[in-house]
Amino acid sequence: MNNVLSPAESSASAGRVRFVTLGCKVNQYETQGMREILSGCGLVEDRAGKDCHFVVINTCTVTSGADRENRYWIRRMRREHPRAKIVVTGCYVERNRPEIEAMAEVDLVLSNHEKDEIADRLLSGCGTPEVQDGETSRLKKRQFTPLKISSFQGMGRAFVKIQDGCNHSCSFCKVVLARGRSRSRPLEDVLEEMYRLRDDGYREVVFAGIQLGAYGLDLGREEMLVSLLEAGSRVEGIERLRLSSIEPTDVTPALIKAMQGLPKCCAHLHIPLQSGDDTTLQAMNRRYGRSFYRDLVGRLKEAMPEFSLTLDVMAGFPGETEEHFANTCDLLRETRPLKCHVFPYSRRRGTRAANLTDVSPREIRSRVERLLSLGEELGRREKMVYTGRIFPVLVEKHLPARAMVQGLTTHYLKVCFEGRREDVGQIVPAELLSLQGDTFLAKRLDRASVDA
């Protein structure tokens, strides 16, 4: 790894930077935070990726496939930008730093808690800053990294990071090893960011974190997520509030009541399932059983008749039998998710599950295919009930080749209809006509006619 830049190269005011973001909504938020820091120092983002001075790769390590993708992008960026300084950060760094520092393609490595230092490190020529003592470094890791944003690139809605880290210890998960225990962002800081985003034209805010339900616990406040929803609902101009992924045991009665009673809250949650079998869930060190998950979804649908569920489900966890797998499929049929994100089990070094006996790769592939097929069938069935109905759609992107726009309903239904670039960020009423794949084709309606 080469940490030396010439004085001319280290001048950020003359620099161009490219970003590559891999992984979750939290990473997308943190990339935006780094983007705004570097923009404030005079760097210009080069989205076309031509002749960049710096490339920042924000990595993920949730699966072994993610690790392979990280290495692919590091090598690809070196090929495409032979004179650029390659900066690698994100969760892959946390458990593989020596390996990354040894890569000839890499010039600078930043831990997650160092992302807010990116400008200082680039301006100093990608060198190593003054060494902090061990206690100072440990303290910084235990604090919420003070990134902030005032815009969110490329979407009509914005992710707002409110929490980092996880207090759970699922036996298959490496993220807790990379992110540490839960740390919360002060509620006042979140609200200030919402006002900035509102002023930049955003109409929906998605609260993101690694374990959203732990928000506030490290600050000695229970149900702080509910307090945030209540306070966020009072921000004029923000019309929708949405939660990103939240653990089943973190969906409390108070949270359900808040979602039910606050009109701005989207009646949609992404609640990871992972398995529908009690034996497998116990081996995963998940903190619930199949009946708990089924009953939770039932309570949500009773409280909010329009509630829609999306989830994660894993195939081939060590020790999973065909009977265990069948239990998962049965629970999916009972809970009727709008969308299933299917993952094959991936052995992660350092986790407890890495010491268990694996299911054969062939069987894992078979179960992944069956889950994908079942998820598609169930999702289509759930989506079809919305055909012919009218919903407000938040437009997220313009599709110029088709003179159309694409957006989301509050239920997380993807919708396309005729539109212009100026529609991005607007909420437009549309009648859902037909389902094509996972997207509704819709008819754009005049707001006045809908109100009438």
pLDDT, tens only, 128-167: 444 444 555 556 667 888 899 999 877 789 999 999 999 9
Q: What is the pLDDT of residue 125?
A: 65
Q: What is the pLDDT of residue 174?
A: 87
**Assigned token pair, 262:** 């606050």
Q: Which residue has the higher pLDDT, 9 or 65?
A: 65
For 346, phi then psi, to 5°, come to: -130, 120
Q: Residue 208: left if φ>0, alpha if ψ -120 to 50, beta else—which one?
A: beta
Classify residue 34 by its DSSP letter: H
- 452 pLDDT above the threshold of 80: no
- 354 pLDDT above the threshold of 80: yes
In the predicted model, what is the mean pLDDT of the chain?
Answer: 91
Q: Are 415 and 409 in contact (CB under 8 A)?
A: yes
- 410 pLDDT above the threshold of 80: yes
The answer for residues whose C-beta is within 8 angstroms of residue 281's C-beta and 6 or more apart is 274, 275, 288, 289, 290
24 residue type, one letter: C
Over residues 258-284, the mean pLDDT reads 98
Q: What is the pLDDT of residue 6?
A: 46
**Assigned token pair, 449:** 């006619």
Between CA 312 and CA 300 the distance in angstroms is 18
- 7 pLDDT above the threshold of 50: no
Distances (CA, A) of 22 to 69, 70, 288, 449: 8, 8, 30, 42
Residue ranges per domain, the chain?
12-139, 157-384, 390-451
Find the angle CA(395)-CA(398)-CA(404) to the nearest 5 degrees. Answer: 90
Q: Are 413 and 383 in contact (CB under 8 A)?
A: yes
Distances (CA, A) of 231 to 92, 159, 238, 270: 35, 17, 12, 22
| CATH code matching the domain that covers 12-139, chosen among 3.40.50.2000, 3.40.50.150, 3.40.50.180, 3.40.50.12160 | 3.40.50.12160
- Of the listed ranges 39-53, 176-190, 237-251, 363-377, the least confidently predicted one is 39-53
Determine the CATH number of domain 390-451. 2.40.50
CATH 3.80.30.20 fits domain 157-384: yes
- 8 pLDDT above the threshold of 60: no
Q: What is the pLDDT of residue 53?
A: 92
Q: Are 206 and 243 in contact (CB under 8 A)?
A: yes
**pLDDT range class, residue 124, cuts 50, 70, 90:** confident
Q: What is the pLDDT of residue 127?
A: 52
pLDDT, tens only, 165-190: 999 989 999 888 899 999 999 999 99
pLDDT, tens only, 375-399: 999 999 999 999 999 999 999 999 9
SS3 76: helix
Residue 430 pairs with which residues in a beta bridge? Answer: 391, 444
Over residues 261-266, the mean pLDDT reads 97
Over residues 198-202, the mean pLDDT reads 95
**Assigned token pair, 275:** 């398995």
Element (H, E) at 81: none
pLDDT, tens only, 61-85: 998 899 999 999 999 999 999 999 9
Q: Are 416 and 406 in contact (CB under 8 A)?
A: yes
Task: Kindly report the pTM of this predicted structure.
Answer: 0.91
- 296 pLDDT above the threshold of 70: yes
Q: Are 161 and 30 in contact (CB under 8 A)?
A: yes
The answer for residues whose C-beta is within 8 angstroms of residue 138's C-beta and 6 or more apart is none
Between CA 327 and CA 318 the distance in angstroms is 16
pLDDT, tens only, 215-236: 999 999 999 999 999 999 999 9
